Amino acid sequence: MAPRRYKAVLVEFMSFNDTQNYSEDTEFSERSLLRITPETICRGMNMKTFGELSPADDDKPLHARSATLEFAKKAISAFMPRKTVQWDPVRAEGNPTRSEAVNALIKRVKKFEVRREGVQSSARRPIEYDEFIRLLTLVRSQTEKDSVRHLVSSVLTLQ
């Protein structure tokens, strides 16, 4: 059974692909899942990342990072009928998330990330003033007579 977060990604993709809104509890038939191709996945990922269906080579990813695309790829793949089969472009069957086109798109977005172009990572952020004050108050409120407490308090105060 695929996690619930995966289902939300699949519903979002299928809503984009079929141009109609689906609810979270929609069950997609095997037939509708087999209609998914690497091209439709790339179109959806392009729209999510670049804001257009077929971006130019020099367009920067402004809306999503490679980790977002990798998660979407994994989520869609979890529901595919032939999830372990590599995509065969000649017969047009297999798992479309395992195609060269999808992997090339993710690789392209990663190149922009390495150059620090496009969407900035939200993994790290500066500490907020209120968080700093709460941390400083917590350190100072320790009742132990410990030199580490004074050291940490001093270092934080000098920041």
Q: Which residue has the higher pLDDT, 15 or 1?
A: 15
- pLDDT, tens only, 13-45: 999 999 999 999 999 999 999 999 999 999 999
Task: Answer yes or no: are the C-beta atoms of 113 and 104 closer than 8 Å.
Answer: no
Q: Evaluate if residue 158 carries a pLDDT over 80.
A: no
Which residues share a beta bridge with 88? 93
Q: Evaluate if residue 1 carries a pLDDT over 70.
A: no
Q: Evaluate if residue 155 carries a pLDDT over 80.
A: no
Query: pLDDT band at 125, cuts 50/70/90?
Result: confident
- pLDDT, tens only, 45-62: 999 999 999 999 989 999
CA distance 27 to 51: 28
Q: Evaluate if residue 145 carries a pLDDT over 90.
A: no
Residue 33, pLDDT score: 94
Query: pLDDT band at 135, cuts 50/70/90?
Result: confident
Q: Which residue has the higher pLDDT, 147 or 16?
A: 16
Written as six digits, the tokens of 86 are 């590599």
The residue type of 146 is D
Residue 142, pLDDT score: 75
Q: Evaluate if residue 3 carries a pLDDT over 60.
A: yes
Residue 63, pLDDT score: 94
Q: What is the DSSP string of the chain?
A: ---HHHHHHHHHHHHHHHTS---TTPPPPHHHHHT--HHHHHHHHHHHHHSSSS--TT----S--HHHHHHHHHHHHHH-TTTTSPPBTTTTBS-GGGSHHHHHHHHHHHHHHHTT-SSPP-S--PPPHHHHHHHHHHHHT--S--HHHHHHHHHHHH-
Residue 15, pLDDT score: 95
